[in-house]
Structure 1
Amino acid sequence: MDTNASWPTVPTPANVTSFNNATVKPFSVFDGCESLVEGILFDLTLQSINVLVGIPANILVIAILICNRKQPSTSDIYLGSLAFMDAYFGSMTPVSFLNLYHWQSKEVWTAIKFSYGVKDTSGPLFLSCICLDRFIAVLFPLTFGQLKHIKYRLSLSVLVFCLTFAYSAAKVVGGLPNFEKVFTGEILATFTWMIVCNACILWTLKKSSGAGKDDMHPMKRKAFKIVLSILCIIVFTYLLPVALFPFEDYYAPDVFRCYVQPVGFAFLNISSTIQPLVYLSRLDKVPFLSESCVKKWCRFVAPEKDKNQPGQNQST
């Protein structure tokens, strides 16, 4: 089975009939799942949210990072790359809809498959890079001070881009034996690393505060909240596919393809919206937007944010 970061899984094949007469079945997003459409509709709904909310949010994150380039944090290059990839993936969703219902072009489907490969790989790897950056900063501050130069993060980002494009190209080519196991192994490895990494960071920050989180230094408390929010995102978006995908052989093929796979990938896809919104909610002030607009769309932000010192830089 060709594993994608979204539905559909494969283009509609030719339906060979008797007497060697072949007729092509019209391309349909519900191909093979006409009576099991709930999971697919759920995934398509979340993809629509990525278009309406995720693309503008990711573009705003990129603009903010560019404006703050004179005082960047060490993770900005990872955040910017992740936002760019998420915006690219979201922009392919309307193309996917048009191809499913209007164009039905093989060439366009190839481009869509490539974007699925980008989403499969770039999100987990860049989040792992962010976790690694904070892990070293908190647990090995002396080593972190020696590795602050941008060349290290730029090199790691180039490596992630190369791995992402190699995986996406392999997905487009198709036909590789057990290729779907690559994604399963990747998601299991990155999920385990991010959970362990963030748990160690939280434990170290809490331990260094003595009595508890309320007695932390303001900057440590802020770092604690940031890492905790990242941990929540990781669990929410990755736990379901990590828990279900390794057990593909235990499901009926139609159930896995029409329910388990689209629902699991839907949670991965919605991270393209959740990640930039969480970043924007942590800012003391969002550039380009009025205070009333920020309050309207970010009411879930903790009240403690107003108590932050106005001169604090956003540590991401």
Structure 2
Amino acid sequence: MDLPGPLNSSVLLVLHRPLNGSPVPLTVLDSCAEMPAALLFYLVLQFINMFLGVPANLMVLWLILRNRRDSSSSNIFMVQLAVLDAGFCLIPPLELVNIVYWSSSHMWFVLRFFYGVKDASPLFLSCICLDRYAAVLHPVTFSALQDRHHRSVCAAVVWVITLLYAAAKCAGNIPNFEKVFTVMILVVFAFMLFCNGSILWALRRSAPGRDHRHPVKKKAFRTVLLILVITVFNYFPPVALFPFQEYFPPLVFHCCVHYIAFGFMDISSSIQPALYLWREPRAPPCWRRRSRAEEPLNTVSRSVDLH
């Protein structure tokens, strides 16, 4: 698509998660007027996040904090992820104003911070995957590390990395900073695939001398498989598309590819807590799977539930 030079420079400044904080005369919708479908798709997903993700994440926090004595070892990471996602799910009204009505450098500054925090959220998912990987494949080591001190330290380190990344994104003046996200999401996605794939392989194997797996293992296998499918659904689009940014026309990438990829990634703020509540027998009936309402709590099957 051929555009005049001045419009090209303006477009690149007002696009989603821009790297430059300078005020611009156009809104994102104006700059993407010829291909608005991806923008509308993104905004719809973001408002789903707000109306579903906020109550879901708050419910996850309430359940975990209320039942701290009877919780899985990775709940400390789930709490951090729920806090992060609940905060991110509050920004759609600001996004709507900034994208459709009025593009302001001050609003972009705030939005870039939240975008940076969300960009780093897969780091907490990686911690959960690592915790479950150790529980299933290295149970002796996992049992020796049952105290949660090291998990608290790990969560604190991830928060420091997340806030530093978000602050750098807010600065908006670091050359090629978007490549940091591309590398991070590729590494984290590969790590999560490895952990979940290894867990599935371990759970799929039958015990020696038995023809069938234990029912608890079957449930755990289905849970991890579902988690793996959702992980691929949420994170595969940016993994598959962002490394090839230079092969797309700039306007097509920023007005279409960019929003579609981040739309799939950002909706994880609703899907992940909803999955946790669906598998949690203590969740309210409107959230949990009804067939488990009368089942006794089983800490073994819950040990593979991920947020």
TM range (shorter): 0.7 to 0.9
Q: 2:142 maps to what in 1?
A: 144
RMSD between aligned alpha carbons?
A: 2.4
Q: For 1:203-261, what per-residue CA distance to the aligned partner results, in whole angstroms no more than 9, with x for missing partners?
A: 0111144699x933233233222221221111100111111110111111111111111
Q: 1:57 maps to what in 2?
A: 56
Name the aligned partner's letter for residue 60 of structure 1.
M
Q: 1:25 maps to what in 2?
A: 25
Q: Tell me the number of residue pairs that the alignment of Structure 1 and Structure 2 aligns.
A: 288
Q: For 1:149-187, what per-residue CA distance to the aligned partner results, in whole angstroms no more than 9, with x for missing partners?
A: 111111110111011001000000112122111000001
Q: TM-score, normalised by structure 1?
A: 0.84
Cα distance in 2 for partners of 1:182, 1:12 equals 18
Q: TM-score, normalised by structure 2?
A: 0.86
Partner of residue 199 from structure 1, selected from 197, 201, 226: 197
Q: CA 1:246–1:104 in structure 2 vs 1: closer, same or farther (change >3 Å)? A: closer
Give percent identity, aligned residues only.
Answer: 43
Contact 2:77 / 2:124 at 8 angstroms: preserved in 1? yes
Contact 2:53 / 2:270 at 8 angstroms: preserved in 1? yes
Q: CA 1:115–1:211 in structure 2 vs 1: closer, same or farther (change >3 Å)? A: farther
Q: 2:229 maps to what in 1?
A: 232
Partner of residue 252 from structure 2, selected from 252, 255, 258: 255
After TM superposition, the structure 1 = structure 2 runs for residues 1-316 of structure 1, keeping only pairs within 5 Å, are 8-10=16-18, 25-26=25-26, 28-100=27-99, 104-122=103-121, 124-209=122-207, 215-286=212-283, 289=284, 291=285, 293-294=286-287, 301=289, 303=291, 305=292, 308=295, 310-313=296-299, 314-315=302-303, 316=305
Contact 2:206 / 2:212 at 8 angstroms: preserved in 1? no
Q: 1:4 maps to what in 2?
A: none
Q: For 1:18-39, what per-residue CA distance to the aligned partner results, in whole angstroms no more than 9, with x for missing partners?
A: xxxxxx624x231421111111
Partner secondary structure for residue 30 of structure 1: helix
Partner secondary structure for residue 298 of structure 2: coil
Cα distance in 2 for partners of 1:94, 1:86 equals 16
Cα distance in 2 for partners of 1:184, 1:56 equals 30
Structure 2: where are the runs of 5+ without partners? 1-8, 10-14
Q: 1:20 maps to what in 2?
A: none
Cα distance in 1 for partners of 2:217, 2:118 equals 32
Cα distance in 2 for partners of 1:139, 1:12 equals 47
